[in-house]
Structures are given as C-alpha cells and as structure tokens.
Amino acid sequence: RLLDGGAKPLAGRKAVVTSGPTHEPIDPVRYIANRSSGRQGHAIAAALARLGAEVTLVSGPVAIPDPPGVTVIRVEQASEMLEAVLGALPADIAVMVAAVADWRVTTPNAEKIKKQPGEGPPPLMLSENPDILKTVGHHTKRPTVVIGFAAETQDVENNGRVKLEKKGADLIVANDVSPETGIMGGTTNSVKLITADGITAWPELSKDDVADRLAGWIAERLI
Ligand code: CTP
Ligand code: CA
C-alpha cells in the first residue's frame, strides 16, 4: 500500500532520537544549558518516521512543535534524558542529536539564591553528566546503528574521529558551529560524515534535507 507515494524501508524498525538542549538547574529559576533549537534532531525523528520507523523522540526543552508521527518524551535534565533513552531500548537505531549539558550543578539550591550585596557571586560546584551516546554505544542492548553528532568550532574532522571511537558510534555527523557560520539556530547545516571508512562531506543543505539524507543512509545500513 503506497498511497502516500513513499517507500517504507524502515517499517518494523525501532528508533530512538535525542534532540534539543538539557537544562541543569542551579535553583528553581536558573539553569545551565547548551545552545540548541532542536531543529536538526526533530527533523531526523520525522524523517525516520516517514521511512516507516517507530520513533521515540526524547527531547529537552525546545520552542518548536512536536514532529508528526513520533512518540515524544519531554525531559529537562541529562539524567532524565538518559533514563528515557534506556527505556526506549531495545531499538534498531539510535541517533543522539541533543546538545546535552556536560555538567550539572552538584546540589541545586531548593530555594532561589538571592544576591548578597558585597559577597560576590555564589560558587557553583559542578559534576559531569552521564554521556548518553557513549552509554548507548557500549550497551549490551546496543542498537544496530548508533549515530552521534559533533558540534565543533575548530578541528572538526579530528575531533569527530576521536568521538566516533570513544563513544562506540558507527557514524559521527560533524559540523562547524563557529558563530560566523550561522548554523547554530539557523535552518541549514553543513556536515561531514565520519565513519571508520573515512569522511564524506555533504553540501550545505536545509536541516530537513540533512535529515532525509541521513534517514536514507540509515536505511541502507540496515538492508
Ligand atoms: N552526548 C551525549 N551525552 C553527553 C554529551 C554528549 O549523548 N553527556 C552526545 C551528543 O548528543 C552528540 C555527541 O555526544 O551526539 C557529541 O557531543 P559533544 O558535546 O560534541 O561531545 P562531548 O563528548 O560532550 O565533548 P565536548 O563537548 O567536550 O566537545
Ligand atoms: Ca559536550
């Protein structure tokens, strides 16, 4: 049945996708976070669903609508994101696009911290967050295809290769997010695909087109 005109090469496959930032509370009104609109991750979730996959999208706080045809789990912190991703296993495909905050405040304040005149800013003690991609890439229930992103401002290829290896991923989609590229928060993306076989550069594409191409790449790997 091809009433929508599309082939469904990922029918019967399960995918888990992370998207957006995480917010790590300092106190009830303040948080630390990475920049992320969620556009690329949401577009990938939608593209996988269009190819027939059953998609769970685990999203941090974003201002964009839920993509059609996917199950969305909304989370705030990295610890919650990890829990939701592990809860979505087993899966055939994991695409970890979220800009997870690398650190959280070790003990967030239960009450709003008040500025104390003359005392200066409060010191913040930070702890490292769990690495969700690395956890999935080395998991006993590791999906067949594990993909990570690498947003870099310098030395994109080398940093991407190191991440591929360290995180146990099959593919790192690396991009240069230097402010002058305008990619952060924008609608286009210029990515390099880094695998154990080498590096392929894609032209500058809309984030939707990057998502469609990536879904196609995944479908080919799973044939
Ligand atoms: N990632 C993750 N959990 C984390 C940190 C990163 O799942 N705690 C994932 C991201 O979703 C992305 C990939 O790992 O797919 C690379 O993220 P990035 O921030 O570039 O890498 P880090 O290992 O955090 O290294 P750094 O920020 O120091 O460059
Ligand atoms: Ca990071």
pTM beyond 0.90: the answer is yes
The alpha carbon of 51 and the centre of ligand 2 are apart by a number of angstroms equal to 30
**Distance from the Cα of residue 85 to its chain's centroid:** 11
Query: Which atom of ligand 1 is found nearest the CA of 151?
Result: 20
Determine whether the annotation assigns residue 131 to a binding site: yes
Name beta bridge partners: 172. 148, 194
From the list 108, 129, 126, 103, the residue with the least C-alpha distance to 27 is: 108
Please tell me which residue in 34, 129, 158, 159 is annotated as part of the active site. Answer: 34
Q: Please tell me the predicted confidence (pLDDT) of residue 3.
A: 57
Task: Report the chain (223 residues): mean pLDDT per 10 consecutive residues.
Answer: 73 98 98 95 98 98 97 98 98 98 98 93 96 98 97 91 97 87 79 95 94 97 92
Supply angle C-alpha 70, 73, 77, rounded to 5.
Answer: 145
Q: Please tell me the predicted confidence (pLDDT) of residue 56.
A: 99
Q: Please tell me the predicted confidence (pLDDT) of residue 153.
A: 86
Q: Please tell me the predicted confidence (pLDDT) of residue 185.
A: 72
Q: Which residues have any ligand 1 atom within 6 Å of their CB?
A: 18, 78, 96-98, 100, 102, 129, 131-133, 148-151, 163
Q: Please tell me the predicted confidence (pLDDT) of residue 5.
A: 64
Query: Which atom of ligand 1 is found nearest the CA of 135?
Result: 7
The alpha carbon of 94 and the centre of ligand 2 are apart by a number of angstroms equal to 18
The alpha carbon of 104 and the centre of ligand 2 are apart by a number of angstroms equal to 12
Ligand that lies nearest to the alpha carbon of residue 134, given by its number in the listed order? 1
The alpha carbon of 111 and the centre of ligand 1 are apart by a number of angstroms equal to 30
Where on the phi/psi map is residue 214: left (φ > 0), alpha (ψ -120 to 50), or beta? Answer: alpha
Q: Which residue has the CA at smallest separation from atom 12 of ligand 1?
A: 149
Contacts of 25 (CB under 8 A, 6+ apart): 31, 76, 77, 104, 105, 108
Query: Which atom of ligand 1 is found nearest the CA of 172?
Result: 15
Please report, for residues 132, 148, 221, the alpha-carbon distance to residue 214 in angstroms, rounded to integers and kept in the order given: 20, 12, 11
Q: Please tell me the predicted confidence (pLDDT) of residue 1.
A: 47
Among this protein's residues, is 34 annotated catalytic?
Answer: yes
Q: Which residue has the CA at smallest separation from atom 14 of ligand 1?
A: 133
Q: Please tell me the predicted confidence (pLDDT) of residue 184.
A: 73
